[in-house]
Amino acid sequence: MLASIHDDPPILVCADLQVEYLTPGRRHVILDGDAATARCLELLTLWRGNLWPVMHLKRIAQAAWFNPASRLTDWIAQTKPRPGEMTFEHPLPSAYSSSRFVDYMSSIRATQCILIGFSLDETILATAVDGFHRSHRYQVVTDAVACRQPGADDAAAYRRAVVNVIANFATIRSCAELIKASGAVAV
C-alpha cells in the first residue's frame, strides 16, 4: 500500500458524511450507515492523530435533496471538518464536479487517496472512475463505505456488485488492512 516512509501520507477523503444519509424516510437514507460511520471515525481518528491530510466532500444540489439551505446537508456531528482540513462541495455524484476539487487534485503531485464515507453507488463510484481517468490513485475502504438500499431485494449482492465495479478503477482495502499498513508510514 505505502511503498516508502519517504512518500507523503495518503489523503483521507471523507465522502458525503452528511445527516441526509442517516435520516429515516429520506430518499438517500443508508440503513447500515452507523457501522460505516463508526469505521470512518476510526480512520479519521488515526489520520488526525498522525496529522495526516484529511479532505471532506459535501454533496449539495438545488433540489428536494442535498439542498444547501437544509440542515440535512450538515456534516454528521462527529465527522465535522476541523480547522486545516480541506472541504469541497460537489453538485453531482463525482467530487470532480467541483472545479475547486479538480484544481486541487491537478495541483498536487501523484499521491494516494483513501476514499471512505457515503454513497458507495454514487459519490465513491463516480469519484473513483473520474479519478482513474485522470491518473489519480484511489483506495476504497470497503467496510468504511455504505450505499442506500436499492430497489432490489438483495442489498448485499447489490453492494458486492458495486464494489466489483469500483475494483476496476481503485484498489479495494479493508479498514483493518489500512490501519495495519499505516504503522509503516512516518511523517
Which pTM does this prediction carry? 0.88
For domain 11-182, give the CATH superfamily: Isochorismatase-like (3.40.50.850)
Q: Are 8 and 146 in contact (CB under 8 A)?
A: no
CA 156 to chain centre: 19
- Per-residue pLDDT tens listing for the chain (187 residues): 444 445 678 999 999 999 888 888 777 788 778 889 999 999 999 999 999 999 999 988 765 555 555 667 788 999 999 999 999 999 999 999 999 999 999 998 767 899 999 989 999 999 999 999 999 999 999 999 998 766 666 778 888 999 999 999 999 999 998 888 876 554 3
Please state the domain extents for the chain. 11-182
